[in-house]
Amino acid sequence: MHTAPRTGAPSGAEPRTTAPATTAPRTPAPRTPVPRTTSPRTAAPPPLVDRFGRVHTDLRLSLTDRCNLRCAYCMPAEGLEWLGRAEVLDDDEVLRLVRIAVHRLGVRSVRLTGGEPLLRRGLAALVGRIAALGPELSLTTNGIGLARTAAGLRAAGLDRVNVSLDTLRPERFAALTRRDRIGDVLAGLAAAKAAGLGPVKVNAVPVRGVNDDEIVELTEFAVAHGYRMRFIESMPLDAQGAWDRAAMVTAREVLARLARRYELVPVGRPGSAPAEEWRIAGTDAVVGVIASVTRPFCGGCDRVRLTADGQLRNCLFATGESDLRALLRGGADDAAVEAAWRASVAGKGPGHAIGSEGFVRPDRPMSAIGG
Ligand code: SAM
Ligand code: SF4
């Protein structure tokens, strides 16, 4: 198959701090659900709210589980058993679910992801149809193919991209991703900026002994090109189950390395975004850290996820899913799909428990959920 998610603002979320030093998950306290009302068609739909009062306005939409890279922290060298064509939602099904999300559930932002979303056939047309529904629309990509598609995606209505790039060294890139494609990624980044898909964010997952010596280099590269650098703590979501906490480079370590080179001014966490941000003093450059493991931001989560095969997940780490594809293909009307969606979110837990004894890895790896 040929080839494509982002964030909003919750009400009822905990107040944010700029640099929490705790490792305890910030989990919300249960709340009385906001009563639902029947809205006229023109009014805002009732919020998609859970029992902790978190309002869900952001949809991470996976368009394929396939990928043209094999990042070592994500999947094995031989790849995975991909979904069959008939299992993946077609464009009309995707559109219908996004329309229900935007019109009936109050979703305001959609981030396209995968797998590698640029591998989805007919992506620009699908982007155009989703954009016409009105959400803020962004895409997370490994950048391969972006040089050729960025302008068309922008013209179709895509607002922004995040591009993953874990190293600037060609041999290291080839070893880490098992493909010699760094040139395509760098060209994709430049094309995204030229096309106006900004602010272009660069995502890197630092892994100890692999690329953690490039934290400053990557940041300098991003600053020089006007991209926003973001470091993501590695999570136990690799398909091969090889995640090792000791190899994870923590947000604290990332910041310590950056602080040796830059003076960092805390910006905080914009809206319910997962990244905490710092501005490099004396510049407009911003660097972010997504500390999913050591500084969980579950208390402010406003995200729901839809896999490429139409399974709704109320959390990246959820161990259960709601089968929206079965509803669509079984002839359910929009109200029934909306009800299933609301029931899934109502059942969302307070937060993930990585690091605790009770933590259970989800059955699907990151690439099949949509990061
Ligand atoms: N293929 C696209 C890409 O790499 O940007 C989109 C999908 S990928 C699953 C989305 C993001 O998840 C990427 O930034 C990637 O680095 C990150 N990611 C993948 N596996 C991860 C893991 N085990 N822990 C943390 N981040 C991970
Ligand atoms: Fe593919 Fe993205 Fe996973 Fe890398 S992180 S293997 S590019 S899905």
User: How many Å from the N-terminal Cα to the C-terminal Cα in the chain?
Assistant: 19
C-alpha to C-alpha distances, 302 to 7, 8, 148, 292, nearest whole angstrom: 7, 7, 33, 14
Ligand 1: lining residues by beta carbon, under 6 Å: 67, 73-74, 113-114, 116, 140-142, 164, 203, 205, 232, 234-235, 237-238, 366-367, 371
Res 352: pLDDT: 83
Report helix, strand or coil for 312: strand
Res 42: pLDDT: 59
Res 81: pLDDT: 95
Residues of the chain with pLDDT > 70: what percent? 88
CA of 335 to the centre of ligand 1 (A): 33
CA of 190 to the centre of ligand 2 (A): 20
For ligand 2, pick from 69, 163, 202 the residue to mutate: most ligand atoms within 8 Å of CB.
69
Q: Cα separation of 29 and 51, whole Å?
A: 9
Ligand 2: lining residues by beta carbon, under 6 Å: 67, 69-71, 74-75, 114-116, 142, 164, 367
- In 3D space, the residue among 201, 90, 185, 228 whose CA is nearest the CA of residue 140 turns out to be 201
Res 32: pLDDT: 45
Q: How many secondary structure helices (H) and strands (E) does the chain include?
A: 10, 12
Res 212: pLDDT: 97
- Which bound ligand lies closest to the C-alpha atom of 140? 1
pTM equals 0.89
Enter the tokens of residue 74: 């994500």
| Extents of the domains making up the chain | 61-369
Q: Give the model confidence (pLDDT) of 141-157 as tens digits.
A: 999 999 999 999 999 99
Res 361: pLDDT: 87
C-alpha to C-alpha distances, 346 to 38, 154, 212, nearest whole angstrom: 18, 35, 39
Res 29: pLDDT: 54
Write out residues in the chain with pLDDT < 50, as ranges: 1-26, 31-40
Res 23: pLDDT: 37
Nearest residue by C-alpha to atom 4 in ligand 2: 71
Q: Check if CATH label 3.20.20.70 holds for domain 61-369.
A: yes
